[in-house]
Amino acid sequence: MSWPVIILIMLCLFALNMRLYIAIFASVLVYFVFFSPVPDQIAVQRLIGASQNLSLLAIPFFILLGTLMDHTGVAKRLLRVADLLVGKFTGGMALTNIMLSTLLGGVSASNLADSAMLTRMLVPEMERKGYNRAFAAAVTASGALVTPIIPPGIALIIYGLVADVSIGAMFMAGILPGIVMAAMLMVAAYIVSKRNGYPPSRDSWPTRSETTSALVGAWPVLVLLLAIIGGIRANIFTPTEAGAVAVLIVLVIGFVIYREMRVAHVVDALVGTFKATSSVMLVIMACSALAWILSLEQAAQQLATYITALTDNKYVFLLILNLLLLFLGMLIEGNAILIVMVPLLMPTVHQLGIDPIHFGIVVIVNLAVGCLTPPVGTVMLLVCNLAKVKISDFMKQSTLLFVALFAALMLITFVPELSLVLAR
């Protein structure tokens, strides 16, 4: 039973701030050198084999899609639509920020890309309107957490591959939970804005001409959403093909319709996609080898036996799971947790009668919240860096937003139909 030693070594390396894939590679190497009679060639095969899955092609397509979105002009036009919808309320800019993140989540697939774009676009403007800069950063970061839940989030793709669940079903399952998260965040932002006297961003409700103008300007985004969600739902193409089609549509939007994209933008986006895809693939390869070791050691069966000895109530299990994942999300990058923990927990999930699609959404929402918590919250660190905000100030201004996220998490956890009604 050597797998607990491997996990402990990996966690120690994480604590030393070693790069994620290197820490996992090192743990795998320790197992094959000291604990396993299996030939070294098997270790290499386990690493390389994970990269041969054609479904993984969806990841670079959607990463490229999110990177290209920054140069198309789509965000500015969606900002007008979001402002029309919620700008008249108290704290209009904060509500518009969250609404825009939700709308962009349906086309960008990357919370880091969204948060970087919106931090540059909205935080300075919110500060000029009288908002506390740290609160503006907190709203931007928390709104970006909706992106992994709304299709076509990268986490939905990875979970579908790891858990052997339909990626199309995961895409549909994420829609209502994403809307619930956005609604909870908007309520929290409204309460803070009311308390601090943050004004609406509009003096009046939109006129018919303003509404028509905004919707006409944003119509290409609707085409993009139909291509991604409608095409998959209607079985016209696979998620990978949907990613390729979406990239082509974005290029047409950027070069032909809005005419704001340049060849240099595409080159920069391709370079960024190569780097991002490489880092994701290295983690997937390392975690795949680790998952194979855990399977060989029957770690999942041992863990399932231990958990079911503690409780056979699926809701108690989900509550414990939430606490565990929220803790791990503070220390470890989300995709690594997803790839390592899901194979370990799936036997218990099936044994307790939990729908794997609902389970996947619960896991992904937990890991999304982890992007906002120190010390390794990637979205938090990125936004604080770009907005020049101290982490302590950020956390102080995030209190009510965290409450909203935890309330949404509990609702999504204990009301499975939110995840399943559209996926069936």
List average pLDDT for each run of 10 residues in the chain, which is 424 residues long.
79 77 84 78 72 77 80 81 88 91 71 79 88 94 89 86 88 93 95 93 85 84 78 79 87 89 91 84 81 77 76 89 84 76 87 94 92 81 89 93 96 95 87
- Helix H or strand E encompassing 357: helix 356-370
Alpha helical stretches, state H, 87-207? 92-108, 111-128, 133-144, 154-163, 167-173, 175-196
Phi, psi of 358 (to 5 degrees): -60, -45
pLDDT of residue 188: 96
pLDDT of residue 186: 96
pLDDT of residue 191: 96
Burial label, 74 (beta-carbon count in 10 A; 0-12, 13-18, 19+)? buried
Q: What is the DSSP letter of 355?
A: -
pLDDT of residue 364: 94
Neighbours of 202 (CB within 10 A): 17
Phi, psi of 37 (to 5 degrees): -85, -5
Q: State pTM to two decimals.
A: 0.84
Burial label, 212 (beta-carbon count in 10 A; 0-12, 13-18, 19+)? exposed
pLDDT of residue 162: 85
pLDDT of residue 108: 59
Angle, to 10 degrees, between the axis of helix 111-128 and the axis of helix 58-69?
20
CA distance 274 to 144: 22
pLDDT of residue 158: 87
Residues 146-175: pLDDT tens digits? 988 888 788 888 898 888 898 889 989 999
Token couple for 256: 């032909």
Contact indicator for 118, 326 with CB cutoff of 8 Å: no
What are the domain boundaries of the chain? 56-278+378-420
